[in-house]
Chain A
Amino acid sequence: MRAFVPIVIGVGALLSASATGPIVFEEIAERSGLTFVSDSSPTPNKNQPETMVAGVALFDYDNDGYLDVYLVNGAAIPSLRKESPKYWNRLYHNNHDGTFTDVTEKAGVAGEGYGMGVAIGDYDNDGWPDIYVVNTGKNQLFHNNRNGTFTDVTDKAGVGGGMLDGKKMWSVSAAWVDYNNDGLLDLFVSNYCKWEVNKDPFCGPKPELRAYCHPNNYPNLPNTLYRNNGDGTFTDVSAETGIAKYYGKGMGVAIADYDGDGFMDIFVANDNRPNFLFHNLGGKKFEEVALESGVAYTQSGSAVSGMGADFRDVDNDGRPDIWHTAVENESFPLYLNRGDGQFWERTLQAHLQGTRDMSGWGNGIFDFDNDGWKDLFVARGNVLDNVAQFSNRHYEEPNAVFRNLGNGKFQDVSAEAGPDFQKAAAHRGVAFGDVDNDGRMDAVVAVLNGKVKYFHNISKNANHWSLLKLIGKRSNRMAVGAQIRITGEDGAKQYNQVTTAVGYACASDSRVHFGLGASKTIREIDIKWPSRIHQVLHNVAADRILTIEEPAQ
């Protein structure tokens, strides 16, 4: 294996604080110019999608080295069209000075339908990330024109969304993933349930108090998988790969190679249905193995309200684990990968039982204090806007962050995360990334029918970090699916992977972040590319953003 000389494209400020302090965020959306307000058109009819609009993407659409922000919005009801600019999806350009500029019109990405979520991937390997927006109606693929504008290529690409019984299925989340390792990003779309506008049944504790219906009131749907043909078009391979056989209520999608066979597997959190774990059979077919792997149901045998999901190693044992959110009274299950094809729910042992009192949506597994252990973040809010009228619950909830103590346990450190973090709202999706390139992972959180929140990570400590931007050559250009192992100065190993599909209906930074603790250099960076090319780098300095290209062999 030959070491590749990393290209240093950015140097973050070294942190000056001496001791590891609390994880702290300041909420600076408004002063940054992120003025987005979502509008789901809540109606007395309590249409199910009204409570689910969530999409946030953090991605560098103009390749200037800074993450930009894309936010998905609802639409008018009953037309399900963006009848006015208040329903537009919005793209904000990062001005590199802590502010953003709304470039939606120029970019041409306002969208058309009733939006749910977003996925980011460079499907044509041109080095410029593209946007896929999932809607209740037709989904949209925006091709990046490399000049600050996008073109809607949905019809040409053939990715408008899966159809069932002559009707386009309601999509919630999507993930770009090269499932057959042919160097092209394919597209997995989770679909929720059969639904028609203003035809929801009446639900609620009493006739005068209508509430959003329980998901069990709606028929299930299968998910959709598109194979990238490499010519700007895609083929729906849901049936031939076995994906279409399984009906659920798909919410968050997360990807990882959980069994180390070199092919990416797909986890779908289902709402009140057993989750799906689609095990990739050599890039040709998928088998659904959630029950036998132990991730379909919680330890107590219940199918919980699966919402957001992340699929990456939380305990630094080199095996991707699964953490997904749920609603109140359920807890957010943490499934640790045992390495034998089985996962073991360790929610209680990880001290996450406090999540039982929370209603979660988007989530992510990231190291917010750079101590070398990935922490947990969840965007919270009750599903029901009127829940307080018939229970002791509140619609608006504060978000939560759990510090990884490095011993299999987590500690809820939300109370120390700063005054802004304590503010309750109807939080939905969350995307993670280092927005200001300072080595600390930030979070942008969608608020249903409210102002977006930008949680700028201002945690003070002396820990070091590294942010890796991988560029695939034989592999897909974005390197989605690349497996990275780093070894610190003390010999401690960490594992992560390239993915943008994180949480619920959101797309996070494609760069891979590592907190390094006291290590000022990384002794070794070991990368397994999706092409199966193996690359090792030695003695890499910390506190930098590194761009690493895939070697030819």
Chain B
Amino acid sequence: MARRFYFALALLSLPCLASAQNPPEQILQQAVALHQAGDTEGAIRQYRAYLKLRPDSPDVRSNLGAALAGTGRYAEAIVEYQAALKQGPKDPRIWLNLALAFYKEGQIADAAQELASLHAVQPANPQVVLLLADCWLRQGENAKVIGLLAPLDQPNQGDLAIAYLLGMALLRDKQIDRGQLIVDRILRNGDSAEARLLLGMAKLEALEYPAAIADLTKAVELNPDLPDLHSYLGQAQMASGDMTAARAAFEKELAQNPNDFESNLRLAVLLKDDGDYDRARELLARALRVRPGDPGALYQEGAIDLAAGDMDRACAILEKVVKQSPQFLEAHVSLAQVYYRMKRKADGDRERGVVQELKAQQDANQSGGKAQ
């Protein structure tokens, strides 16, 4: 039920091999044998040797991609899968492998794009549906997830993977009541880490931090490997003010789920506050690979440059952020600070005007009833 995705296929069958006796075929035979025997590096060498002689072999290229992915060399695998898809008809298996390689590489936007196209071709493929939903969740595209999964939920009431992903999207989309119905349904199947995670998310959304932490901690006891769990626990701990615990939780999430956007971003903020700019930059770069152009992550990059005194870089990034998100108050504030530091008074004054305008708008929109 947990969102765990493995490579759909390790290697494609190559029926022509049995009769192949000439040198290229011998090389390929060796490559497949090595691959099947678990000697992935040897297989990669032999696949490459074969492709030097027979470059137009999409199935072999796909196998090379699978071998590369098997050793964690996803970027190289992506090149091979893309080449394979160009050389032959779009084999859905290679296509899915390409999407998975993007996913593993942290290029979630590219993975989502490939999966969305693949889903149009294979709408009933459950692996494609779940993986696409997962990508969209990571991108914060909650409405898309709901649109994808809600029609599948009724006819698949027993499918807890769908229920879980849909529940998560609903809670993130602040559709708490709808989300709660799904949580209840999952709970009817007994206590589980997934149910506790969803409960914790709902409580976090309701600002009930101790209760959220209690549920999320229970979920950790039930299944510490559940994706996103440590990320949400970290968020609840951060909101509750326990930064040490939050940092540890984000680190745990990233150890098993290096491309979790929230953990990368929030841990980067904590590290930035501790002055560990190098690692914070690394995490932000990863967050931006998951959500390219995300203004929050970009802003944090600019804020680090401002803190580190790199005004030119800070200026370039913050100008980009305010262009992209003109209502982003903190970015305007930081940009004004940068301009004043750079002695660009006219630009600083202009940004100061924008800040005052946005602040006035915020004040006008201020609603009552918010606790300290």
Contact = CB atoms under 8 A, between A and B. Distances in A.
A387 to B, nearest CB: 8
A299 B349 CA distance: 18
B372 A383 contact: yes
Interface in A177-213: 201-206, 211-213
A205 B275 contact: no
B207 A203 contact: no
Contacts of B348: 291-292
Interface string A220-252: 100000000000000000000000000000000
A65 interface: no
Contacts of A302: 330, 333
A404 B315 CA distance: 33
B7 interface: no
A217 B337 contact: no
A331 B273 contact: yes
B318 to A, nearest CB: 9
Nearest to B334: A301
Interface in A344-398: 345, 348-349, 353, 356-357, 383-384, 390-393
A329 to B, nearest CB: 6
Interface residues of A, number: 42
A214 interface: yes
- Describe A's contact surface by its main secondary structure: loop
Nearest to B239: A391
A204 B274 contact: no
A294 B307 contact: no
Interface string B199-242: 00000001111100100000000000000000000000101111
A529 interface: no
Given A205-B208, A301-B333, A391-B210, A215 B355 contact: no
Contact of B331 (A216, A301, A390): A301
A149 interface: no
A202 B241 CA distance: 24
A300 B330 contact: yes
A212 B370 CA distance: 9
Contact of B369 (A203, A293, A345, A393): A203
A201 to B, nearest CB: 4
A332 to B, nearest CB: 13
A391 B207 CA distance: 9
B371 A391 contact: no
B274 to A, nearest CB: 6
B176 interface: no
Contacts of A329: 241
Interface in B21-46: none
B340 to A, nearest CB: 5
B11 interface: no
Contacts of B206: 205
A353 B355 contact: no
A292 B209 contact: no
A214 B213 contact: no
A353 B337 CA distance: 21
B336 interface: yes
B341 A353 contact: no
Given A292-B340, A299-B307, A300-B330, A214 B372 contact: yes
Given A294-B340, A392-B210, A216 B241 contact: no
A412 B322 CA distance: 38
Nearest to B362: A216
B93 interface: no
A299 B303 contact: yes
A35 interface: no
A140 B348 CA distance: 41
Given A202-B369, A299-B307, A392 B241 contact: yes
Interface residues of B, number: 43
Contacts of B359: 274
Nearest to B341: A342
Nearest to A301: B330
B306 interface: yes
Contacts of B363: 216, 220
Interface in B328-372: 329-334, 336-337, 340-341, 345, 348-349, 352, 355, 359, 363, 366, 368-372
A268 to B, nearest CB: 16
Contacts of B355: 291
Given A300-B330, A391-B209, A392-B242, A216 B366 contact: yes
Interface in A488-507: none
A421 interface: no
Given A292-B352, A384-B372, A348 B273 contact: yes
A213 B371 contact: yes
B152 interface: no
Given A294-B341, A301-B329, A212 B371 contact: yes
A258 interface: no
B127 to A, nearest CB: 40
B10 interface: no
Contact of B303 (A294, A300, A390, A392): A300
Contacts of B334: 297, 299-301
Contacts of A274: 333, 359
A171 B149 CA distance: 56
Contacts of A203: 368-372
Interface in A271-292: 274, 291-292
A391 B275 contact: no
A305 B332 CA distance: 19
Nearest to B336: A291
Contact of B274 (A297, A328, A348, A383): A348
Nearest to B359: A274
A81 B131 CA distance: 66
A215 B352 contact: no
Contacts of B242: 392
B240 A393 contact: yes
A297 B209 contact: no
B248 interface: no
Nearest to A217: B368
Contacts of B209: 390-392
Nearest to B349: A292
A301 B299 CA distance: 10
Contact of A357 (B243, B275, B341): B243
A294 B306 CA distance: 12
A294 B337 contact: yes
A212 B332 CA distance: 30
Given A216-B366, A292-B345, A392 B307 contact: no
B372 A215 contact: yes
Contacts of A393: 240-241
Contacts of B239: 391
Contacts of B345: 292
A328 B241 contact: yes
A349 B371 contact: no
24 contacts: A203-B370, A204-B371, A205-B206, A205-B208, A205-B371, A211-B371, A214-B372, A216-B370, A220-B363, A291-B340, A291-B352, A292-B336, A294-B340, A294-B341, A300-B330, A301-B303, A301-B337, A348-B273, A348-B307, A356-B273, A357-B241, A391-B239, A391-B241, A392-B210
For the complex of A and B, the 5 pairs showing the least CB-CB separation, nearest first, are A301-B330, A301-B333, A201-B368, A211-B371, A301-B334
Given A214-B371, A216-B366, A302-B333, 8 more contacts: A291-B348, A292-B345, A299-B334, A300-B307, A301-B299, A331-B273, A391-B240, A392-B210
